Structure 1
Amino acid sequence: MTDDNSQALARESDQALARESDQALARDFEIGAVTKAFAEDPFPTYRALLEHAPVKRFADGSVMLSRYADLDRVYRDTKAFSSDKKVEFLPKFGDTPLYEHHTTSLVFNDPPLHTRVRKIMMGALTPRAIAAMEPGLIALVDGLLDKMADKGSVDLVEDFASAIPVEVIGNLFVMPHDERGPLRDWSLAILGALEPTLTQDQKDWGNRSVTEFKAYLADLAARRRANPGDPATDVLTRLIAGNEGEQLSDTELLQNCIFILNAGHETTTNLIGNALFELLEWPQEKARLDADPSMIDTAIDEFLRFQSPNQLGNRAAVEDVTFDGEAIAAGTRIHLCIGAANRDPRQYDRPDTLDLARKPNRHLAFAQGPHLCAGFSLARMEGRIAISRFFKRFPEYRLDGEARRTGRVRFRGFSTLPARVM
């Protein structure tokens, strides 16, 4: 046997072993029993699911979809796939503040509530309103960069990524600056309760946070009713006033305020933190952005695709449906694996490669269809300004300690990113 034949047989053997390993990874994966290793790096599992189990059935009867085309179909068809979580969340949360919040907020509802809240909210997030925020956002970012320059040793999450959306969303609600301190902890607790599995301590923290957040917002809303702001720029005033005769109940108002404040915080924090980390992991792409700062717009989309801030979504089948020849019965809970779909080789060339000039790049980081994230334009602007101005100011930044992820699987980001800026 020639050396060439031996090498070919060895390659075939290695490939067969890799296929068997991937098949086992896809077969054994359970969303209700995720490991620490998966939370750190879910992408090997995502690749295995895409190849071997794009319609993955779990022991609890739920199904996970991972292909881009399948998620796109679900997002666009609100008649066949429901966002309502009352049936799913009652066993998980019981009759608790977390249950009330997560079954009243915009994202986990179908029309007519979804339509009413979204219509009211979008009036304060018009392109003109978002453009008017840009000067203030630039001033905020530059102020944070000045403070970081003075310190030298910084945490890119605490000192930068998480500080930006807290201020931006606080400004949208015209929230006094000295009242914004608890926002991040409330957000982490409430959104953390959406993880596939929870400890009792996590449930207790989430319920306590909803209760405290709701009480604070009730007081803020009472003050705003007494002294209304400009509904064109003040989201709270707009939500209180309603739209075309449509008004929210007190519960709907408070719980959707919590949702907006949390959603605007988490996605942007993760976008900025993930991006600054990946630039260091991909020095060639960092050099490209350094040579051509105008790439920042395509870069933002690539950061969103490559490390989606929100990795998982959920729906329920309203009617019998079929995916890839697999029948899914009405009532089945469906997990939407956004992190996998955004690396689907059927949709993207070299999906596991960061390419800051990638075009087209129709990722699903902000969902799609009627549930397209209402604040996606604002999040993109925050990311663009934050990352471009940071990179211009500190092109030679480097990590200065252990980068730690949050350990969560639904929302992918870092809890700490120690760095040196210079």
Structure 2
Amino acid sequence: MTQTGTAVFDPASPTFHADRHAVYRTIRDEAPLLQLPGPVPTIMVSRWADVDQVLRDKVVRMRPVGAGAPPWLGDGAAADMFLGQMLFTDAPDHTRLRRSTTPAFRPRTIATLRADVETAVDARIAVLRELGSFDAVADLAEHVPAAAVCSILGIPEPDWPALIRGAVDFVTILSPLPPPADRLAAAENICRWYLDYFADLVADRRAHPRGDDDFLTALIAQQEAGAMSGNELLVTAHSVLNAGFETTMSALANGLQGLLSDPAQWSALAADPGLAAVAVEESLRWEAPAQLLTRYAPEDLELPSGTVPAGTAIVVAAASANRDDRRFDDPDAFDLARTDTTHLAFSAGRHTCIGAHLGRMELDIAFRKLAAAFPDLHLVAGGEAPREPNPVFPTLRSLPVATS
């Protein structure tokens, strides 16, 4: 826990999980460069101007040169998964690994997937019509991105549920803060399972390649040509799964919560499907799926709120920046009339989320079709919408809704 005046950041506190955005508001106002405990000097940046600059700065790194995995991850599967992540690399490794994943998310691939996504949404709508009331997370938000990204990787449909269920434990390794021991144990177990699963999938694809248009076959060819290590191959394949699922699933659930919390917003979308594009961006701004990011300052960094000294680890509060009233009018409101749809939910600069275009397409299709199919969709009165107690990925566990 760190406190400066009344600005307190305690990610284990019930107060924080009850209203994260109220906590971030206080931090923005009172301690925009908030000192945090850590093995190296660590600060949190929370205002839009500071966060935007940190994410785009070409000197700022993901990690110090030669740094290993965070010590709390140990030296097992979780550390292996961390060290192979493109997300935590800098050039030239980041450039090399990002180039290898580009074919999975290039515009041509995404355009080809559009029909598959529309089919998947239509299929879910047919199921939901029969239910009448349903959980917008388990019955909807988990299905749409799973169908898209598993199609990219050529993963058999019977395997989808197990792969998706593991995401909540996996994202623990992405935290810039030491998680509780039980969460670390669960993360270690799921990381081992993922590495074993993708090792089997890669072995099968090596034995039965699917041609130049198959992403995993192409990735294997790059590994065989020396472009990546064996561990990087497995982790990169999983990274595509995670990038294509977690953010979109969370954004779809968050967007529905925001839209349905004000029935006028949902009615406006039902009356004008063209508002779906705004709904996508507002969903991502209003509740960023990944709320805390990690950076490192190898030299002094001058920000609008002050100086970050060289050698400082930076916790970047993207969710806070997206609700900074110095940047947005009435930032806590979900507003389809908002004209400024800028946000930092997909990060920015060199590390902008590679799956952003795919996620936007899926969200746009889902919002359009759902509003057309269920113009009277509403939150269930008294229904709880609990979130994972994870400061980085506070994903909705459930969102009870009804169609009449």
Q: TM-score, normalised by structure 2?
A: 0.92
Q: Quick check: 2:53–2:303 contact (8 Å CA) kept in 1?
A: no
Q: Quick check: 1:124–1:231 contact (8 Å CA) kept in 2?
A: no
Percent of counterpart pairs with the same letter? 33
- Following superposition, the deviation at residue 270 of structure 1 comes to 0.7
Which structure 2 residues correspond to residues 145-224 of structure 1 after superposition, within 5 A?
Answer: 145-195=125-175, 196-224=177-205
Q: Based on CA coordinates, which of the two structures has the bigger radius of gyration?
A: 1
Which residue of 330, 353, 357 maps to 2:333? 353
Aligned residues: 397
Q: Which amino acid aligns with 1:179?
A: D
Of stretches 39-48 and 266-275 in structure 1, the one that deviates more from structure 2 is 39-48
Secondary structure at the aligned position of 1:360 is classed as: coil
In structure 2, what is the equivalent of residue 378 of structure 1? 358
1:244-289 CA deviation, whole Å, 9 max, x = no partner? 9662111000012222212221101111101111112122322322
- Give the Cα–Cα distance (whole angstroms) in 2 for the partners of residues 373 and 149 of structure 1: 34
Secondary structure at the aligned position of 1:352 is classed as: coil
Of stretches 402-411 and 107-116 in structure 1, the one that deviates more from structure 2 is 402-411
Q: Quick check: 1:120–1:243 contact (8 Å CA) kept in 2?
A: no
In the alignment, structure 1 residue 322 sits paired with structure 2 residue 275: no
- Give the Cα–Cα distance (whole angstroms) in 2 for the partners of residues 102 and 69 of structure 1: 29
Q: Which amino acid aligns with 2:34?
A: K
- Give the Cα–Cα distance (whole angstroms) in 1 for the partners of residues 76 and 117 of structure 2: 37
- Give the Cα–Cα distance (whole angstroms) in 1 for the partners of residues 355 and 99 of structure 2: 13
In structure 2, what is the equivalent of residue 362 of structure 1? 342
Q: Quick check: 1:306–1:342 contact (8 Å CA) kept in 2?
A: yes
In structure 2, what is the equivalent of residue 55 of structure 1? 33
- Give the Cα–Cα distance (whole angstroms) in 1 for the partners of residues 302 and 267 of structure 2: 45
Q: Quick check: 1:50–1:66 contact (8 Å CA) kept in 2?
A: yes
In structure 2, what is the equivalent of residue 309 of structure 1? 289
Which structure 2 residues correspond to residues 380-395 of structure 1 after superposition, within 5 A?
Answer: 380-395=360-375
Q: Quick check: 2:259–2:265 contact (8 Å CA) kept in 1?
A: yes
Compared CA separation, residues 194 and 281, structure 1 to 2 (3 A):
same
Q: Which amino acid aligns with 1:199?
A: P
In the alignment, structure 1 residue 267 sits paired with structure 2 residue 282: no
In structure 1, what is the equivalent of residue 235 of structure 2? 255
In structure 2, what is the equivalent of residue 9 of structure 1? none
Compared CA separation, residues 212 and 59, structure 1 to 2 (3 A):
closer
RMSD between superposed Cα atoms in Å: 2.2
Compared CA separation, residues 65 and 261, structure 1 to 2 (3 A):
same
- Give the Cα–Cα distance (whole angstroms) in 2 for the partners of residues 304 and 128 of structure 1: 24
In the alignment, structure 1 residue 38 sits paired with structure 2 residue 19: no
- Give the Cα–Cα distance (whole angstroms) in 2 for the partners of residues 251 and 39 of structure 1: 35
Q: Quick check: 1:124–1:238 contact (8 Å CA) kept in 2?
A: no
- Following superposition, the deviation at residue 323 of structure 1 comes to 2.7
Which residue of 277, 280, 284 maps to 1:300? 280
Q: Quick check: 1:67–1:341 contact (8 Å CA) kept in 2?
A: yes
Q: Which amino acid aligns with 1:286?
A: W
Of stretches 211-220 and 222-231 in structure 1, the one that deviates more from structure 2 is 222-231
Of stretches 134-143 and 61-70 in structure 1, the one that deviates more from structure 2 is 61-70
- Following superposition, the deviation at residue 331 of structure 1 comes to 2.0
In structure 2, what is the equivalent of residue 407 of structure 1? 389
Of stretches 189-198 and 152-161 in structure 1, the one that deviates more from structure 2 is 189-198
- Give the Cα–Cα distance (whole angstroms) in 2 for the partners of residues 415 and 127 of structure 1: 31
Q: Quick check: 1:40–1:405 contact (8 Å CA) kept in 2?
A: no
Q: TM-score, normalised by structure 1?
A: 0.88
In the alignment, structure 1 residue 282 sits paired with structure 2 residue 256: no
In structure 1, what is the equivalent of residue 98 of structure 2? 118
Gaps of 5+ in 2: none
- Give the Cα–Cα distance (whole angstroms) in 2 for the partners of residues 85 and 125 of structure 1: 29
Of stretches 344-353 and 386-395 in structure 1, the one that deviates more from structure 2 is 344-353
Which structure 2 residues correspond to residues 336-351 of structure 1 after superposition, within 5 A?
Answer: 336-351=316-331
In the alignment, structure 1 residue 417 sits paired with structure 2 residue 399: yes
- Give the Cα–Cα distance (whole angstroms) in 2 for the partners of residues 87 and 291 of structure 1: 53
Q: Which amino acid aligns with 1:301?
A: E
Compared CA separation, residues 270 and 221, structure 1 to 2 (3 A):
same
